[in-house]
Amino acid sequence: MTYARVMNPRTGLLTYRVLLRGEGLGQNEEWIGFFATRQLRAESEAKARTEAVSAILDSWPQEAEGLISAVKAISPIEAKQVRVAWLKRPRGGFTFFNDDDAAEVTAQRIERRASGF
């Protein structure tokens, strides 16, 4: 589905939803993967992708403390412009998986469904 470019009249920014994939180490130094979606306003899709990664890294200690001790890599895998921002929906969260390929596929499917991708 394609949306017309709808800019926020007050800020002049577009709203984007960005799906991210990351890796880190758990409390016992075991490898853990995760997916997360962040929605934000930005000037372009490229800026939205960069800002979504920064948002995860900036909020990591408060959001996932106790689950992952260190983030090793995070990258945006998909971004889309949205016409209507999330209303009354959580603005954060993570879907975790282990090193099993089937677990990664399942985690990505859960995150996509939860975030509207």
Q: Where are the domains of the chain?
A: 14-115
Residue 90's pLDDT is 52
Task: Give tens-digit pLDDT for 92-104.
Answer: 788 999 989 899 9
Task: Give tens-digit pLDDT for 8-60.
Answer: 555 678 999 999 999 998 888 899 999 999 998 999 999 999 999 999 888 87
Q: b/e string for 38-70 if b means 16 or more Cβ within 10 A?
A: bbbbbeeeeebbebbbebbeeebeeebeeebee
Residue 2's pLDDT is 41
